[in-house]
Amino acid sequence: MSRGPQLDRRSFLASVAAVGGALTLGFDIPFGPPAVRASARASEITAWIVVAPDDSVVIRVAKSEMGQGASTALPMLVAEELECDWSKVKAEFVAPEENRKRDRIWGNMSTGASRSISASQNELRRAGATAREMLLAAAAARWNVPAGECAAARSVITHRPSGRTVTFGEVAAAAAKVAPPGPVKLKDPKDWTLIGTPQRRFDVADKITGKPIYAIDVRLPDMLYAAIVQCPVFKGTLKAVDETKLAGMKGIRRVIAHADAVAVVADSWWRAKKAAEALRITWDPGAGADVSSAAIRDLLHAALSADDARVGRRDGDVDRALAGAATRIEADYEVPFLGHATMEPQNCTARVTADLVEVWAPTQDGETALAVAADAAGVAPDKVVVHKMSLGCGFGRRGMFQDFVRQAVLIAKEVGQPVKLVWTREEDIRHDFYRPVAAVRMTAGFDAGGAPIAWKIRTAGQSIIAAISPRVMQFGVDRNFLQGLLEDMPYDVPNYLVDFAMRNTHVPVGVWRSVNHSQNAFFKESFIDEMAHAAGADPYRFRRNLLRKSPKDLAVLDAAAGKAGWDAPAPPGVFRGIAHHRSQSSICTQVVEASVASDGKLHVHRVVSAIDPGHVVNPLTVELQTEGAIVYGLSAALYGEISIKDGRVEQSNFNDYPVLQMAETPQVETVIAASGGFWGGVGETPVPPLAPALCNAIFAATGKRIRSLPLKNHDLRNA
């Protein structure tokens, strides 16, 4: 494996010192306007690239880093075309306020949906090629030769006829003054030398030495600390706060009432938290007060036979085909709400002065953080600065809704001093934007020969889009809710219908790693296993037959089955399950090997995960994300359940919302079956197949068909 560039601690520390010691980030030149960063010594060559006289190259990253490796993979796209020496590259986050000032020259900063590479690759490769042409033009002008006689490699420009050379750093200042060329030609993928090679991530060194790179680590002069208690019933409001018990508590500065929360500000977070817990708060719980998980389940079950569903995809005539089928099977499935439980609880530090609002936030979208901060402070966006920090996990929790930013700004404005707001884990678990509940009724029909001729899917559940962006609803259909069941449902069944009966609750919902794919893959891939068994077919070959017209799906399915040794016997007592799902424009098949002991204890031994994301930028990232996604999916499959009682979340912390630990982690084998020709995502794609592949293995082991999650609610002992 090649060695990636290392962070330059000295210049990093110098830059921190220059801004007062408060700002910290694992990149070379953390913050501040580019005019300052690209000082007299370094030159901006396109908005994305800064080259210094010593040949060091700063490549700017508009997306957030939450462990997914975007801050390394995105610069690789630039460097490939720039032809710079990768060991001299450093990454730098774009500041949201700079993006706003420069008419969003760095594009959309929202980081999610596994789209960082696919949505940026074209512009980043063009930026690299454009800068390379500008550097070549500057060198050619210096030598008074045609630019076409010059070539760049590893940050050195060579005039081929004479053999003269000059480095990027030596012509950077001149190149910055060259007019950018028109359309540039990008490399043929077969000529890539950096893209597709495993590269160490830039951010690892800081993360093993405890550097203060997260928002929760920010320390400012005169900073106070805030803890918050939010109305336990969603959409409820605050009625009254009794501060009597705070009498005599030390260090308490303010108790601040919000519409649906109370914050306590103190001179330490521990004191603020203790005081917040000592408050006697009276809430108006509102209309959600008597909602329970049982009632939500009844609502969804009734929707499975309701007549208000909207069609998402219809092929042929499914009802007629079912009526004429030789055999039929039907099954209902359901899944609960899930929380994100990012390792770093929600937090934000804010400083509000007459002239400026500053926030330090763990944000998946710095532009939304800026807009939320401006709105909360009641100032124009040009009065806001957002310091994007490394995120202690994201998983979709910190993009669209930046409730923690709003709260911190409101508190800091009220107090008139910088305030660091940190949620307790209990607040974090109970005030999330949860993965929606969902239920389905699956019906399949077979002809006399056992071939599937009809597949009908009725879905019911809560729509994210209805809550956040109703205008995106298409003819009343939330197509997001049907992810994986629409045109991206790859199985060839002639009569197919999927529809959606929307049933929204008072529980806030949001995007959760892979959004609706994780629910729908569980439903689809479990039921197609049922179809295979009903047809008396091997689950792998049954899928294979239905994918025979989709060569890319077939290749991934075969890659996983081959690596897993599907046709060879599993170790004694071990059983295999398989699942296949497209998401985030990529294709993934997983084979899970599991055993179930006589006491019902489940052991997941091994997961083989094959993925085709089209082009691969950093294969190391693909492996890391696959390993992580399987742990994430397995946590959800085994334990994940947010339940509602009296309108509020019953779980509170990792004791009652458990997640996977070391001892339960299977061996993960990643197969990169990249076919090229498209740009798919990686970070989410290996999540959805995990639960169904596992449940299909459990069926193989026990004959028990799991139709609801999590598995902790099922008795797997032999009946």
Partner 1 sequence: MATLTVNGVTHDVDVDSDTPLLWVLRDTLGLMGTKYGCGIARCGACTVHLDGNPIRSCALPVSAIAGRAITTIEGLEPNGALSAVQRAWLDLDVPQCGYCQSGMIMAVTALLEDKPKPSDAEIDAAITNICRCGTYQRIRAAIHAVAARRVSEVR
**Residues found near partner 1 in the complex (CB under 8 A):** 66-69, 200-201, 203-214, 216-217, 219, 225, 250, 268-271, 274, 341-345, 390-395, 422, 424-426, 620, 624, 627-632, 635, 653-655, 659-663, 665, 667-668
Least Å distance, CB 361 to partner 1, is 15
Residue with tokens 């957030």: 64
Q: CB atoms < 10 A from the CB of 201, how many?
A: 21
The residue among 15 and 71 lying less far from partner 1, judged by its C-beta, is 71
**Cα angle at 52 between 50 and 57, to 5 degrees?**
50
CB 373 within 8 A of CB 468: no
CB 502 within 8 A of CB 481: yes
> Whole-angstrom Cα distance, residue 3 to residue 598?
48
Of 31 and 168, nearer to partner 1 (C-beta) is 31
Structure tokens that stand for 538 in this block: 């091997």
Alpha carbon distance 242, 207 (integer Å): 42
Residue 20 Cβ vs partner 1, minimum distance, rounded to whole Å: 15
Q: How far is the CB of 225 from partner 1 (least distance, A)?
A: 7
Strand partners, 588: 581, 611
CA distance 69 to 80: 17
**Minimum gap (Å) between residue 27 Cβ and partner 1:** 14
Q: Which is nearer to partner 1, 541 or 606 (CB)?
A: 606
Provide the minimum distance between the beta carbon of 663 and partner 1 in the complex, in angstroms, as a whole number: 4
- Gap between the Cα atoms of 556 and 561, Å rounded: 9
CB-based contacts of 323, cutoff 8 Å, min separation 6: none
Which CB, 79 or 393, lies closer to partner 1? Answer: 393
What is the secondary structure of 554-621 as a DSSP string? HHHHHHHHHHHTTTSPPSTT-EEEEEEEEETTEEEEEEEEEEE-TT--EEEEEEEEEEE-BS-S-HHH
Note the helical H segments in 144-230: 168-175, 204-207
| CB of 286 closer than 8 Å to CB of 233 | yes
Q: CB 474: neighbour CB atoms within 10 A?
A: 11
Burial readout 607-623 (b: 16 or more C-beta within 10 A, e: otherwise): bbbbbbbbbbbbbbbbb
Backbone angles phi, psi at 669, to 5 degrees: -120, 120
Residue of 213, 314, 266 lying closest to 422 (CA atoms)? 266
Contact 590, 560 (CB under 8 A): yes
Closest approach of Cβ 66 to partner 1, in Å?
A: 5
Q: Which residue has the tokens 């596994």?
A: 114
Structure letter (DSSP) for residue 359: E
Structure-derived torsion over alpha carbons of residues 308, 706, 632, 360, reported in degrees to the nearest 10? 30
CB of 627 to partner 1, least distance (A): 5
Contact 650, 706 (CB under 8 A): no
3-state SS class at 173: helix
User: Nearest approach, Cβ of 398 to partner 1 (angstroms)?
Assistant: 11
Q: Helices 517-534 & 690-702, crossing angle to 10 degrees?
A: 30
